[in-house]
């Protein structure tokens, strides 16, 4: 019976892996295949992306989730660039001087490529105005006009001076002009007196002159007032004349500009009108102080107090700061921002140092990723975004209000000392943002931030695997071939493709699935290519891929090798031969820095009289996690439901993972613990050459676990080093059979009858394989088949109850 049971549950070699049919790889090398132009296995995610891209409504941005290396970013970038290529090129984005509010630079949107051209034309116009305005004001007909105005003003000034001199003579005073100032002195005996001489005059004479000078001061005040009015009149007449002369020149230049740029948006034309008016009103910005003096024939006393603006200020008013230049671009922009700090998203100010402080103007505004992506698509990594302070808030604010706002000090930990402050006008935002991140980040933002779902309504979930179909095998081959072309690798031989597909299935953990984490495939190709070239091969073959995998296994195997040495030396005590009551080999799965491997671990169980029930030693000393504790409690439920229908469970048992000093978690060893307990209660020994994995539920059903391939191979390696006898093997849950993609040497050992893999669905099936004894069925009267495992367990539990009661009543 035992042999029948073991044979019944033993898996055939063909169940341990899956080969790829030759008809699925109908080519010699991947050079025969077309370039990959789609993303295999990403249908659900790509459909979500397409939906998000089609909806222009605010809030339909996309959050793409998936594991690292699953091809999210590369797939999204390809889709976005293909879509963007058919869309119109958005406007240039510029900032210009705001004549109404100078501290609020004005944003302008211009047709693609127009910003740079307009900036060059205005620069040329400024140079032309600098050259032409002084020439117009110093040559030709305007010279006569200026001379006439100046002569008329001088005649009026001379008349005022003559009138004032007459008043002075009446009071025996003399009037002298020096450096534009009028000096009054008394006349004594026909000559003017110096101030020192005044002190030597007789008191009555000195008093008389002082009274006259005081009386004359009223005439001086009237003269000063009249002279100032004359100067103002002169300035106004001169400005009016200059303006009438300059205005046609300015108008002509701007008319030529508008002929060059015929299709400018209304806001741009309005700003150009303001600039034209500003030039006409402030034409002296284009004239130096020396040129002003020359233009007025050396009559500084009749020149306005106003001076020309500095060349830097005047030129800046003409400067078009092109933040985003779409010259020579085709289609909508696709921007990948690798460092999404607030300043890199929304833009920033540059500064110049002035008198110990920092100053800036509209010419020093710099664009951010939102400016560059405006009218197109912005692709961001969520982890990068959240790692920069205030970056997430800046992005949310921009998307919520559909505008890009640049603020001084954005992205700076300390606000600089500024001379004046700018608050640029906002730029209208029209962008589709795609965030790429993990499931954890997505659910964290959705839970903690009320605005998140309002802004990112589309979830694109990139799955880690795809069905193992002929179509998808060809897609993996095309992907690998395209990667080889792009990287300059050898092409991939069909045998190499078959091994690559096996690798993809193994990493997917399923015979009928293939991994979609392209990074792992690319890494494997890179290493296999070096091996193939070193061997002088013309293509990457199966053996090259095998060697690359072996090299990876070796490089990452330091911890695995250390554990193996401890087992081989007997330091970690593992039995693989004989039989033992209450002892079984479970399988531990290690995942250290991405290296996953399995190794057998000894589980022991002792039972005795008592009422403590099943005591898990690892749980008692707090070396077990919640999932392991759950598995232990489920085991107690199984015992109660099966063996305590008429009598209570009154016994004590202790179970532990021997030589385990780190925390244990997971319930994949719960079936092994239960087998050890049943062995201890029944007194039936367990074959030590069989290791066990699988969780159990309260109904006694064996449930699937993770890492089944690594666990089997870990046990196989230990047994192989000790010498295979054909009695060794691993007991796994039936649902895990579909996950088997074992190494070739394991499969060959099973074919040769040197190693075994059994699959069971229930604890009863498993205990029969482990002990060779019949588990036994419950009879109609509630008892078990005589001498079966279940019968022996039931009898032992009842003896414990009787012993406990006898002890209590003794």
Max Cα–Cα distance, the chain, nearest Å: 161
φ, ψ for residue 414, nearest 5 deg: -125, 135
pLDDT (tens digit per residue) in 681-704: 999 999 999 999 999 999 999 999
Report the Cα–Cα distance between both ends of the chain, in Å, rounded: 44
Q: Which two tokens stand for residue 194?
A: 């110096």
Q: Which residues contact residue 427 at a Cβ distance below 8 angstroms, ignoring those fewer than 6 apart? A: 93, 107, 109, 371, 374, 403, 404
pLDDT (tens digit per residue) in 480-500: 999 999 999 999 999 999 999
Pick among 3.40.140.10, 1.10.8.60, 3.40.50.970, 1.10.150.120: CATH of 17-37+466-555: 1.10.8.60
User: What SS3 class is residue 757?
Assistant: strand
Bridge partners, 359 (sequence order): 352
Q: Which residues contact residue 777 at a Cβ distance below 8 angstroms, ignoring those fewer than 6 apart? A: 784, 785, 788, 790
CATH 3.30.230.10 fits 562-809, yes or no: yes
Q: Which two tokens stand for residue 645?
A: 């229908």
What is the pLDDT at residue 299?
A: 45
Q: Distance of CA 94 to CAs 154, 161, 242, 319, Å?
A: 50, 57, 33, 10
Domain ranges of the chain: 17-37+466-555, 72-89+330-461, 114-310, 562-809
What is the pLDDT at residue 761?
A: 96
Q: Which positions of the chain have pLDDT values less than 50?
A: 295-307, 411
Q: Do domains 72-89+330-461 and 562-809 have the same CATH topology?
A: no
φ, ψ for residue 608, nearest 5 deg: -165, 170
Q: Which residues contact residue 88 at a Cβ distance below 8 angstroms, ignoring those fewer than 6 apart? A: 331, 332, 375
**The domain at 72-89+330-461 falls in which architecture?**
3-Layer(aba) Sandwich (3.40)
For 763-785, b where at least 16 C-beta lie within 10 A, e where not — what string?
bbbbbbbbbbbbbbeeeeeeebe
Q: Which two tokens stand for residue 552?
A: 């990876």
How many beta carbons lie within 10 A of that of residue 196, not counting itself? 7
What is the pLDDT at residue 306?
A: 44
How many beta carbons lie within 10 A of that of residue 439, not counting itself? 12
Bridge partners, 624 (sequence order): 664
Alpha helices in 139-194 (DSSP H): 141-170
What is the pLDDT at residue 716?
A: 97
User: What SS3 class is residue 450?
Assistant: coil
φ, ψ for residue 607, nearest 5 deg: -120, 150
- Judging by beta carbons within 10 Å of its beta carbon (0-12, 13-18, 19+), is residue 714 exposed, middle or buried? buried
What is the pLDDT at residue 208?
A: 74
What is the pLDDT at residue 297?
A: 47
pTM: 0.78
* Distance between CA atoms of residues 547 and 531, nearest Å: 8
């Amino acid at each position: 019976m035992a042999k029948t049971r073991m044979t019944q549950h033993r898996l055939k070699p063909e169940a341990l892996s899956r080969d790829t049919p030759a008809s699925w790889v109908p080519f010699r090398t991947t050079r025969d295949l077309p370039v990959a132009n789609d993303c295999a296995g990403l249908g659900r995610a790509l459909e979500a992306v397409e939906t998000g891209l089609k909806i222009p409504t605010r809030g339909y941005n996309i959050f793409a989730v998936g594991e690292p290396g699953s091809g999210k970013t590369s797939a999204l970038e390809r889709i976005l660039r293909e879509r963007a290529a058919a869309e119109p090129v958005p406007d240039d984005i510029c900032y210009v001087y705001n004549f109404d509010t100078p501290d609020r630079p004005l944003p302008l949107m211009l047709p693609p490529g127009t910003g740079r051209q307009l900036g060059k034309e205005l620069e040329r116009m400024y140079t032309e105005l600098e050259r032409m305005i002084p020439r117009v004001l110093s040559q030709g007909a305007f010279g006569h006009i200026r001379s006439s105005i100046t002569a008329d003003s001088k005649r009026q000034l001379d008349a005022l001076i003559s009138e004032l001199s007459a008043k002075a003579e009446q009071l025996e005073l003399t009037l002298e002009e020096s450096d534009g100032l009028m000096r009054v002195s008394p006349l004594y005996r026909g000559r003017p007196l110096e101030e020192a001489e005044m002190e030597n005059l007789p008191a009555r004479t000195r008093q008389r002159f002082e009274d006259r000078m005081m009386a004359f001061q009223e005439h001086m005040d009237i003269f000063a007032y009249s002279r100032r009015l004359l100067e103002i009149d002169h300035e106004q007449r001169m400005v009016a004349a200059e303006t009438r002369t300059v205005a046609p020149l300015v108008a002509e230049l701007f008319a030529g500009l508008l002929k060059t740029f015929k299709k400018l948006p209304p806001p741009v034309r309005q700003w150009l009108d303001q600039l034209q008016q500003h030039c006409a009103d402030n034409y002296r910005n284009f004239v130096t102080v020396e040129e002003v003096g020359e233009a007025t024939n050396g009559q500084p006393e009749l020149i306005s107090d106003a001076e020309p603006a500095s060349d830097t200020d005047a030129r800046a008013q003409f400067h078009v700061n092109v933040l985003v230049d779409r010259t020579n671009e085709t289609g909508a922009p696709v921007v990948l921002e690798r460092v999404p700090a607030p300043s890199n998203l929304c833009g920033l100010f540059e500064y110049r140092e002035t008198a110990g402080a920092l100053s800036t103007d509209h010419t020093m505004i710099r664009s951010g990723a939102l400016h560059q992506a405006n009218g197109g698509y912005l692709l961001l990594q969520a982890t990068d975004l959240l790692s920069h302070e205030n970056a997430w808030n800046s992005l949310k604010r921009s998307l919520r209000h559909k505008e890009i706002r640049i603020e001084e000090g954005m992205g700076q930990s300390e606000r600089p000392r500024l001379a004046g402050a700018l608050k640029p006008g906002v730029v209208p935002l029209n962008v589709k943002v795609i965030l790429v991140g993990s499931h954890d980040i997505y659910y964290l933002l959705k839970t903690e931030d009320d605005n998140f779902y309002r802004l990112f309504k589309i979830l694109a979930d990139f799955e880690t695997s795809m069905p193992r179909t002929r179509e998808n095998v060809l897609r993996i081959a095309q992907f690998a071939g395209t990667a080889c072309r792009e990287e300059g690798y050898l092409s991939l031989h069909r045998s190499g493709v078959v091994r690559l597909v096996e690798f993809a299935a193994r990493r997917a953990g399923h015979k009928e699935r293939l991994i979609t984490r392209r990074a792992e495939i690319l890494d494997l190709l890179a290493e296999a290519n070096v091996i193939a070239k070193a061997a002088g091969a013309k293509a990457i073959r199966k053996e090259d891929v095998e060697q690359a995998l072996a090299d990876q296994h070796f490089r990452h195997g330091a911890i695995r090798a250390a554990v193996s040495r401890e087992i081989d030396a007997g330091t970690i005590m593992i039995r693989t031969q004989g039989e033992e009551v209450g002892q079984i080999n479970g399988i531990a799965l290690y995942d250290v820095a991405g290296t996953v491997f399995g190794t057998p671990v000894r589980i022991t169980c002792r039972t005795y009289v008592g009422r403590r029930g099943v005591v898990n030693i690892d749980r008692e000393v707090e070396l077990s996690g919640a999932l392991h504790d759950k598995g232990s409690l489920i085991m107690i439920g199984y015992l109660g439901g099966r063996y305590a229908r008429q009598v209570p469970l009154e016994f004590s048992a202790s179970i532990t993972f021997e030589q385990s000093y780190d925390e244990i978690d997971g319930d994949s060893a719960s079936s092994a613990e239960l087998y050890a307990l049943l062995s201890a209660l029944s007194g039936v020994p367990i074959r030590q050459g069989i290791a066990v994995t699988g969780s159990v539920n309260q109904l006694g059903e064996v449930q699937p676990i993770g890492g089944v391939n690594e666990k089997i191979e870990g046990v196989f390696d230990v047994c192989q080093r000790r010498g295979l006898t054909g009695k060794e093997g691993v007991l796994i849950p039936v649902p895990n059979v579909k996950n088997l993609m074992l190494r070739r040497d394991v499969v060959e050992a099973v074919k040769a009858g040197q190693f075994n893999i059994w699959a069971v669905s229930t604890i009863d099936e498993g205990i029969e394989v482990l002990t060779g004894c019949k588990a036994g069925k419950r009879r109609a009267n509630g008892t078990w088949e005589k001498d079966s495992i279940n019968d022996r367990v039931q009898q032992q539990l009842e003896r414990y109850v009787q012993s406990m009661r006898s002890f209590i009543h003794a």
